[in-house]
Amino acid sequence: MRVLIAHSFYRIGGGEDACVRQQLDLLRPHHEVLLLAKHNAELPGEVTTGIRMAYSRRIRTEVEGTIRSFHPDVIHVHNVYPAFGPAVFLGARRFDIPLVMTAHNYRLRCPNGYMFTEDSICSRCVGGGYHNAVVHPCFPTKEQGVAYASSLWLHRFIMKLERDVSVIVSPSEFMRTTLAGLGMDDRRLRMIRNFIQIHADADASPGSYGIYVGRLSREKGVHVLLDALSTAGDPPFKIVGDGPQVEQLRGIASRLGLRHTTFMGRVSSDEVDRLLREARFVVLPSLWNENAPLAVLEAMARGRPLIVSSVGGLPELADGGAGWTARPGSVHDLSQNIRSVMEDDELCREAGAAALAFARHELTPQRHLTLLEQTYREAIG
């Protein structure tokens, strides 16, 4: 098959960008694959970018030129905002090319993609009331909120871009059922988990410290985790990542007297793997409905048990004995789980083994490739 993958890479790279790169490497030995890429870090100021996100004749001409020259059998869209705007959808429509879209977040219904604002899960914009993204602090600036709210309203209700999508891929069962509940045709939804490399040397031997890997922003709940670490007696813990909350979180850790919590900052993927290999457990204390965070999947592939919030797609990963869930925002639940896994080697080993077994069955590259190829054929057919 000839597959055109379209993705606008984020200013601060994360799991979604990594998933796209991994998928490219997975497909290329088997199919003719072309990446149509933009990089949000290269965009001009907010006003110009906002106009381009709503509609840009130049970007549409560029995208249609690529489609015309490559002749794809299928187009696979990941993120198109803000750099592409509606151009990829309109190009697929013009040339009658089947369009597959991976829903990494909730931007089909929510301007900021999180369905989370003011420290709580939010559904104000679901029915089309996108003015809420301006009224509430959903974006760093009002200008950004106006740009996303107006563009998504235009694309959903005037251009009707969703009708061009043949299949929507959901990386978690939670995302699939959520999109169905938001009015999307269940016949167009497919659950295909993200994949990770399975390490032959992985085992469930308990390491010496806990670890968090991810963005340091409010919806991730790391401030709750710091309180839980203090309550749990200050066990050794490493926080890997960067984000807008990093200085605030360092201040919280200092005030709590957490002498054994280390902020590692952004590190290479190889270093992340080394840290996971030597860790005892991984924590993701999210306050929003996470989809399928890559860092958690990588931890499972290293045999690390999970302590995760009972929201979004996280519980389905911890099910089957791979870890424990905590109520979102509950310092008590997190601290109790952390104490348990720090004090009991056998408990830690059993949960780690279950996590590794899940990864070896559900998260392999071959499984992802097989399901993705099947999805492409369905879209083409």
Residue 163 and residue 239 in one domain = no
Could you read off the pLDDT of 196-242 as tens digits, one per residue? 999 999 999 999 999 999 999 999 999 999 999 999 999 999 999 99
Query: What mean pLDDT is predicted for residues 105-118?
Result: 96
Residue 236 and residue 302 in one domain = yes
Work out the pLDDT band at 151, boundaries 50, 70, 90. very high
Residue 188 and residue 330 in one domain = no
User: Out of 12-16, 99-103, 211-215, 250-254, which region has the weakest mean confidence (pLDDT)?
Assistant: 12-16
pLDDT value of position 87: 97
Domain membership of residue 111 (yes or no) is yes
Query: What mean pLDDT is predicted for residues 5-31?
Result: 93
CA nearest to 51, candidates 78, 20, 23, 83: 83
Mean of pLDDT over the chain: 96
pLDDT value of position 13: 78
Could you read off the pLDDT of 133-142 as tens digits, one per residue? 999 999 999 9
Residue 156 and residue 63 in one domain = yes
Domain membership of residue 342 (yes or no) is yes
Residue 358 and residue 368 in one domain = no
pLDDT value of position 360: 97
Phi, psi (5° rounding) for residue 116? -150, 125
Helix axes of 365-380 and 15-27: crossing angle, nearest 10 degrees: 80
Residue 284 and residue 239 in one domain = yes
Concatenated DSSP letters for 307-325? EEESSTTSHHHHTTTTEEE
pLDDT value of position 179: 97
Q: Cα(7)–Cα(73) distance, rounded to whole angstroms?
A: 17
Residue 174 and residue 271 in one domain = no
Is the Cα dihedral 89, 150, 142, 248 positive or negative?
Answer: negative
Query: What mean pLDDT is predicted for residues 309-333?
Result: 97
Work out the pLDDT band at 311, boundaries 50, 70, 90. very high
Cα atoms in the 13 Å half-sphere on the side-chain side of 41: 5
Q: Which residues contact 336 (CB under 8 A, 6 or more apart)?
A: none
Percent of the chain with pLDDT over 70: 99
310: which 2 tokens? 């009972």
Q: Are 117 and 137 in contact (CB under 8 A)?
A: yes
Kindly tell me if the per-residue pLDDT of 12 is higher than 80.
Answer: no
Could you read off the pLDDT of 41-98 as tens digits, one per residue? 777 766 677 888 999 999 999 999 999 999 999 999 999 999 999 999 999 999 999 9
Residue 17 and residue 142 in one domain = yes
Domain hosting residue 321, numbered range: 210-362
Helices (H), the chain: 15-27, 46-54, 57-70, 87-95, 132-135, 142-153, 173-181, 222-231, 246-256, 269-278, 294-301, 315-318, 331-343, 345-362, 365-380
Query: What mean pLDDT is predicted for residues 159-174?
Result: 97
Residue 127 and residue 160 in one domain = yes
Residue 40 and residue 105 in one domain = yes
Amino acid (1-letter code) at residue 200? A
Work out the pLDDT band at 40, boundaries 50, 70, 90. confident
pLDDT value of position 14: 84
Query: What mean pLDDT is predicted for residues 165-187?
Result: 96
Q: Cα(338)–Cα(235) distance, rounded to whole angstroms?
A: 9
> The domain that contains 251 carries what CATH number?
3.40.50.2000
Q: Which residues pair with 167 in a beta bridge?
A: 100
pLDDT value of position 45: 66
Radius of gyration of the chain (CA): 21
Residue 44 and residue 126 in one domain = yes
Q: Are 298 and 272 in contact (CB under 8 A)?
A: yes
What's the domain count of the chain? 2
Q: Cα(187)–Cα(172) distance, rounded to whole angstroms?
A: 16
pLDDT value of position 288: 97
258: which 2 tokens? 């957490």
